[in-house]
Structure 1
């Protein structure tokens, strides 16, 4: 049996802007994991025990995965297995049945709390990497291969997104990430291009650079108790993009500048510069939010950030509108920051960057 542990993620900087070609973000993998266990088997089955799905039989037929149970929650895994199966077939590898079990610690299943740690992307990466592991003697399995197959599957299912969460779950650690041109990938998929050729191609704009955080920089994470709906916030920004709005263009520039400064802070081991750039990105997002009427910062997120700013710098993470907020602080200030968060009903999460896994 092979076991793969794949980390969740948190957005640090560059949200929304990263959806535009050439605009970077910083994302970090975190030490909450999706675990996939896979073994060769006589019959192909999938188990998702936390969803109450055990030993769901599935088979490959006419180039597609067929599940014996119809459940919308299986869509991501179905598309992922389709993509991996196509890739293996195009690589002249004969596929064999396997038993796959996927479990998650990205959300608190017992309490129903959802933290927004990128669970669908992590599941896709876990499925890709665990199935490819079965064919390691016939394949060169690289992070880039896992990322591209997972990005194709994720994009086919969701139809949008930067896939920064896919990159974080694949590579781990802190990443300076620029998304591929989504319209290019969409066009290739509509042409039904060979998956193997698509994986080998250079993806326009895609850049993935691993970073080291400044020494003494501590990432603190607080959960505000509400869950974000990414799609609805993106829709509010769409009209600005279509109008070629100067406000939107200014936001993109400010976001790019904040991310570039943060990368500089990381590379120069400059904690204060990293904190300043986090605040600059927060300001850019707030201005965009005010223009669109979209609530990137809820009342709880605003409190989280105000407190964080006494001990370093704070910001929403990801889509905003709820879920988690983040802070850059230092070890000596972390305990007091956590205490003040608790006092206003924000739950500090015991989450650290996942720099090494598997």
Structure 2
């Protein structure tokens, strides 16, 4: 059984432990929401952990957000949580969708206990913007699929990604799901999003999930890419959080009122991302940094045009320092959270982090996680 901090159950079943990485956007933010554009996203080595085991009753344990133990049941095909909170919406939909997927396979549902812990945020509660919601959903989906492995349920990356994306759209109704892809597949990804309107139109009450997942999703492209050997990613935290939703709304408004400015941004972002992917394939560090800087320039202009503070004064300082050693930019929607930089070699990385720290920008000890969602054997796991 799991020692203190894991699943507490009288069940004789050994818990399964799943590890899922967080994410950082590297290039292509905002543009990736358009069908003709793409992004580069990377998984990072801070993780969400899910522990799952069959049990006498259904339990959901989420200590990170203050829910130590929630009972739940399936009543007339619908999932019912015995405690309600907006914080539970993603996981409520995850349980509903995964249960439907299992039942469609002709398998009888059995009670289980699912416990999720996250290290994506700081122990003090500071949020770094590493894709917590996506990683939690990917962890829960992977855990449930692995639980039914002996009954023939597959947990391939494609199935995990698509089920988690369905949960995302059922809960939120929009987004690129690039964070879902990073947490599922790991490493650096060249990513193009599926058609969001297409998936929303298909998500009816009587949808067959197995058939839906087997389809080609229009626009979806996920490919692992490998950076040049000496190209190093550095991450700095600016000390404040931001709302992705509010930033996206301002960009949407620009698209409506200044279509030419938005079109110019889109063109510049598309070219920068595709060129950066080419430089990765050529193992050209300097070329990759130039493409990265080009994407930053497009995002900076987008922020000015949309009157959206993509680059806060602190992020501008982070980028200014990074440009002495390589190149820096915002990551994700900007407006706070993390900024990133690419430099060549350990010396430049070390000097950059020292200067960031002296300017009250916290260098985060992050690296790219080559592995995505996976089952692990934790050191504190023992058998009865």
Secondary structure, in 3 states, of the residue corresponding to 2:145? helix
C-alpha distance in structure 1 between counterparts of 2:180 and 2:353, whole Å: 29
What TM-score results when the alignment is normalised by the length of structure 1? 0.98
Query: What is residue 6 of structure 1 aligned with on the other side?
Result: 20
C-alpha distance in structure 2 between counterparts of 1:301 and 1:269, whole Å: 28
Measure how far apart 1:90 and its partner are.
1.2
Measure how far apart 1:67 and its partner are.
0.8
- Picking from 35, 49, 54, the partner of 1:35 is 49
Q: 1:149-202, CA deviations, whole angstroms, 9 ceiling, x for partnerless residues? A: 000001111111100000000000000000000000010014742222211111
Q: What is the 5 A alignment of 1:93-112?
A: 93-109=107-123, 111-112=124-125
Secondary structure, in 3 states, of the residue corresponding to 2:363? strand
C-alpha distance in structure 1 between counterparts of 2:306 and 2:371, whole Å: 39
CA contact (8 A) 2:146 2:154 kept: no
Query: What is residue 115 of structure 1 aligned with on the other side?
Result: 128
Query: What is residue 136 of structure 1 aligned with on the other side?
Result: 149
C-alpha distance in structure 2 between counterparts of 1:180 and 1:58, whole Å: 32
Does residue 231 in structure 1 map to residue 248 in structure 2? Answer: no
Which 10-residue stretch deviates more, 71-80 or 32-41?
71-80
- Picking from 245, 251, 268, the partner of 1:254 is 268
Which 10-residue stretch deviates more, 60-69 or 29-38?
60-69
C-alpha distance in structure 2 between counterparts of 1:116 and 1:63, whole Å: 35
Secondary structure, in 3 states, of the residue corresponding to 1:354? coil
Q: Any unmatched runs of 5+ in structure 2?
A: 1-14, 375-384
C-alpha distance in structure 1 between counterparts of 2:258 and 2:188, whole Å: 32
Query: What is residue 294 of structure 1 aligned with on the other side?
Result: 308
C-alpha distance in structure 2 between counterparts of 1:286 and 1:244, whole Å: 16
Q: 1:43-84, CA deviations, whole angstroms, 9 ceiling, x for partnerless residues? A: 110101122212211111222221111122111100011111
Query: What is residue 126 of structure 1 aligned with on the other side?
Result: 139
What TM-score results when the alignment is normalised by the length of structure 2? 0.91
Secondary structure, in 3 states, of the residue corresponding to 1:215? coil
- Picking from 161, 184, 194, the partner of 1:180 is 194
Does residue 335 in structure 1 map to residue 353 in structure 2? Answer: no
Q: 1:77-125, CA deviations, whole angstroms, 9 ceiling, x for partnerless residues? A: 000111111111112121111111000000013x221100000000000
C-alpha distance in structure 1 between counterparts of 2:26 and 2:75, whole Å: 42
Query: What is residue 340 of structure 2 aligned with on the other side?
Result: 326
Q: What is the total number of aligned residue pairs between the two structures?
A: 357
Does residue 199 in structure 1 map to residue 213 in structure 2? Answer: yes
Q: Any unmatched runs of 5+ in structure 1?
A: none
Which 4+ residue blocks in structure 1 deviate beyond 4 angstroms? none
CA contact (8 A) 2:185 2:371 kept: no
